[in-house]
Structure 1
Amino acid sequence: MTQVATIGFTQTTARGFFERLQAAGVRSVIDVRLYNTSQLAGFAKADDLAYFLQAIGGIGYRHEPLLAPSDDMFKAFKKDKGDWRVFEGRFLDLMAERQVETRLKPQMFAGACLLCSEATPHHCHRRLVCEYLNGKWGGQLEVRHL
């Protein structure tokens, strides 16, 4: 069993965010956002986040846009207030089209934490990534939402 966590950076302080990662024993963060350099991301902007993760907790950082929704999909859901079920179906289809389960291996997720912006995993693609991969990999991922 490969342990993987997920976390969002909105609606939390930097202190709370980094303390949750450290308490969970996270060794690397896999950023599954399509855009990781937005000024609105605050402490979670790519270069700053990579620095803070390493300096505060010795945690590695990797951006993995392969696990992000497409730009049009993201805009249709977020900016146009789209239906979650439509987004979910389109995103699962996109991961199947990309064949992410053949391009990644469960071991790559050991001790990792998938990062995106959503505060909770309920309407977040990071949860869908874990569920999709678990379905393809026979439940090899043990997922914790921080």
Structure 2
Amino acid sequence: MTETTKPDANDEARAFLAELPDADGALNRKMGISLTEVSRERVVATMPVEGNTQPFGLLHGGASVVLAETVGSVAAGLAAWPDGVAVGVDINATHHRSVTSGTVTGMATPAHVGRSSSVWEVAITDEAGRRTCTARITCSVLPRSRVGL
């Protein structure tokens, strides 16, 4: 393909998201998660702290993991698309500092993208740019035909 006929990365991301049955996701809507950047190089989303806290008023660790799973899964899905489907098999998170207000941002970048699996590092930061959580998500890549798509 010549440089002039390559599909635009934004067009590719839009086509991928358009193919999903519920691109926003019900849980993402409940948590207030909003995708702000989607590309094969990285996926970024924001999430409000308000409404996602634990009883002590801190951002719930599980909410951070939901944000990490969202950006990591979208990243893995786009990397596998259009021939494969990514399914999560492992996620872990280390929480570095608490957050009590504002918005956090999750950014997934590839650690490994292969034919049968992909691994994504997710950095979650507060509004000051301080890392609040580091997560890693591993996805298996399955042929679309195997999952009925």
TM range (shorter): under 0.3
Question: Greater relative contact order: 1 or 2 (C-alpha under 8 angstroms, separation 6 or more)?
Answer: 1
TM-score normalised over the length of structure 2: 0.25
| Bigger Cα Rg | 2
Higher strand share: 2
Higher helix share: 1
TM-score normalised over the length of structure 1: 0.25
